[in-house]
Amino acid sequence: MLSAKQHLLTALAAELEKLQTGAGARAAFESPKVAAHGDLACTAAMQLAKALKQNPRQLSETLRSALLATPAFERWVDAVEIAGPGFINIRLKDAAKQAVVHEVLQAAECFGDQPAQPNKVLVEFVSANPTGPLHVGHGRQAALGDAICNLLATQGQQVYREFYYNDAGVQISTLANSTQLRAKGFKPGDAEWPEAAYNGDYIQDIANDFMAKKTVKSDDREFTGSGDVNDLDGMRLFAVAYLRREQDLDLKAFDVQFDNYYLESSLYTSGKVDAAVQKLREAGKTYEHDGALWLKSTDYGDDKDRVMRKGDGSYTYFVPDVAYHITKWERGFTRVVNIQGTDHHGTIARVRAGLQAAGVGIPEGYPDYVLHTMVRVMRGGEEVKISKRAGSYVTLRDLIEWTSKDAVRFFLLSRKPDTEYIFDIDLALAQNNDNPVYYVQYAHARICSVLAAWGGDVASLAKADLSPLQSPQAHALMLALAKYPEMLTSAANDFAPHDVTFYLRDLASLYHSYYDAERILVDDDAVKQARLALVAATAQVLRNGLKVLGVSAPQKM
């Protein structure tokens, strides 16, 4: 169907170009809102009518006649109907709809993928401070980042995953001080315990291992505790390495991997922060006021100018971010996507302003941002607010241990990032149709069971005669399969992995309806082969979509 649709689109573009120069480039088909109206819809006549000073319905009739005379419409279209003020509804021949089954089976795991592109894309996500375990908000970000990377990869883009470690600043000093207090025998609630200290049990674990002179190793560092309770600098390095290892374990349990870990501290030690500030000063985009250095960010649409360097000589939060993004550009990443919590909303304008003011050739709107809200966790009808491990929040590891990696990923991706999400533990454990990940995985397992009962070679189905696929349920399933590539492209462009979850749920529903309507393993071999080909193609697309989300496609449940 994809090739048929492309032929039809080419024919439509040619006829529109005849009506108005440039109109062909805007040729497009839509899905009718009511399935009974047809398989494809076109609103081009209504869009062109005003410019051409013609009645839209009459223009639709003219366009209809021209389209029906083209070889592509003669081959693939059964009927073209005009509705309302000028809608053109197209009914495809069965062969056009059936063609998608062969296309899926031939492309297999590559179905929906686009050709390779030369541009490099860097996606930065998670980027948690190394001061505690990953919480469920980090989990949402990890699921979003990984799925967005997978979506961009389906579009042929060279994707690079990066984790930015905020290993410099006040929070690291607080971590070291909290660990030292625990090592000295103090605990939360004691008079000596500061209000700003970290309270989770993990701090005691770090202190115990440091005093026991243990060695901790993470992906990018290794450190051995000295056992000296007064070695505050050693405790800082040990604690960061310890929590880096813990976060690595969380991410591995979530099946998320990164190509690079970039340290905030390296921006200072390498002089990149000072160099970025110097660029801004040389460009005349800064000024001194009240003992502070300010950026003229209002020149770039910000609501007010921003302090870059405070009176005590320290830089504000967004300055190292500007330096960091200059390094992204210098490393050849012409497109950058940052996935962060909504609390970072206020930094977007000032970071972009700094990048424009630096004058290094970075385009406006760089980088792209995807902001997400936090996650509430419900269990037994009540909100779960804290974890013993973390002391103040539910961790990602808790969520995985309570449910599964698949459930956490699918659930956290099932809503738009900027909408609040309530993770229902009980629903995630339910084995029924109300549980969306179970519903989709069960559809795949159900197909695998049918194929196993058949016992034949699935590869042979790529040549099956599909003409027996005539029922409304079969047609609906084939039309859904044909929408998969366009859905992927749209989801990638909009950074919207939730669109994939919606699509998979709809596809699973259509399969369940088809299974209930038609027996697959019938005596008539031609009918059986056609139906097996259709369900095998459906299983393939379910697998492909679940892979984008980082969710498994079990063969048995």
Domain-located, residue 23: yes
Q: What is the pLDDT of residues 383-438, one digit of tens each?
A: 998 765 566 788 899 999 999 999 999 999 999 999 999 999 999 999 999 999 99
Candidates 308, 176, 172, 162; CA nearest to 229 is: 176
* Structural domain total, the chain: 3
Residue 119: the pLDDT is: 87
Looking at the predicted structure, is the pLDDT value of residue 32 above 90?
no
Residue 129: the pLDDT is: 86
Q: Stretch 469-486: mean pLDDT, rounded?
A: 95
Q: Stretch 229-242: mean pLDDT, rounded?
A: 95
The CATH number that applies at residue 73 is 3.30.1360.70
Q: How many alpha carbons fall within 13 Å on the CB side of residue 538?
A: 38
Distance CA 365, CA 348 (A): 10
Same domain for 181 and 88? no
Which pLDDT band, with edges at 50, 70 and 90, does 450 fall under?
very high
The CATH number that applies at residue 472 is 1.10.730.10
Q: Stretch 274-301: mean pLDDT, rounded?
A: 95
Residue 200: the pLDDT is: 87
Q: Please state, rounded to an integer, the average pLDDT across all residues of the chain.
A: 94
Residue 40: the pLDDT is: 92
SS3 per residue for 177-235: HHHHHHHCCCCCCCCCCCCCCCCCHHHHHHHHHHHCCCEEECCCCEEECCCCCCCHHHH
SS3 per residue for 44-56: HHHHHHHHHCCCH
Domain-located, residue 461: yes
Domain-located, residue 6: yes
Helix (H) or strand (E) run with residue 40 in it: strand 40-42
Q: Stretch 233-239: mean pLDDT, rounded?
A: 94
Q: Stretch 37-42: mean pLDDT, rounded?
A: 90
SS3 per residue for 529-545: HHHHHHHHHHHHHHHHH
Among the candidates 65, 92, 119, a domain finishes at: 92
Domain-located, residue 448: yes
Q: Stretch 198-215: mean pLDDT, rounded?
A: 95
Same domain for 177 and 74? no
Looking at the predicted structure, is the pLDDT value of residue 371 above 90?
yes
Residue 146: the pLDDT is: 98
Q: What is the pLDDT of residues 134-189, one digit of tens each?
A: 999 999 999 999 999 999 999 999 999 999 988 877 889 999 999 999 999 999 99
Domain-located, residue 248: no
Looking at the predicted structure, is the pLDDT value of residue 67 above 80?
yes
DSSP calls for 52-119: HTS-HHHHHHHHHHHHHTSHHHHHHEEEEEEETTTEEEEEE-HHHHHHHHHHHHHHGGGTT-----S-
Distance CA 386, CA 201 (A): 12
Residue 48: the pLDDT is: 92
Same domain for 175 and 76? no
Q: 301: helix, coil or strand?
A: coil
Domain-located, residue 195: yes
Residue 390: the pLDDT is: 60
Which pLDDT band, with edges at 50, 70 and 90, does 243 fall under?
very high
Which pLDDT band, with edges at 50, 70 and 90, does 130 fall under?
confident
Looking at the predicted structure, is the pLDDT value of residue 219 above 80?
no
Domain-located, residue 485: yes
Looking at the predicted structure, is the pLDDT value of residue 73 above 90?
yes
Same domain for 177 and 87? no
Residue 388: the pLDDT is: 58
List the strands of the sheet with 40-42, edge to edge.
40-42, 87-92, 77-83
Among the candidates 24, 59, 92, a domain finishes at: 92
Among the candidates 92, 120, 149, a domain finishes at: 92
Q: Stretch 473-499: mean pLDDT, rounded?
A: 96
Candidates 40, 150, 191; CA nearest to 547 is: 150
Residue 389: the pLDDT is: 59
Task: Residue 37: give the domain boundaries.
Answer: 2-92
Q: 121: helix, coil or strand?
A: strand
Domain-located, residue 58: yes
Residue 423: the pLDDT is: 96
Residue 237: the pLDDT is: 92
Helix (H) or strand (E) run with residue 160 in it: strand 158-165
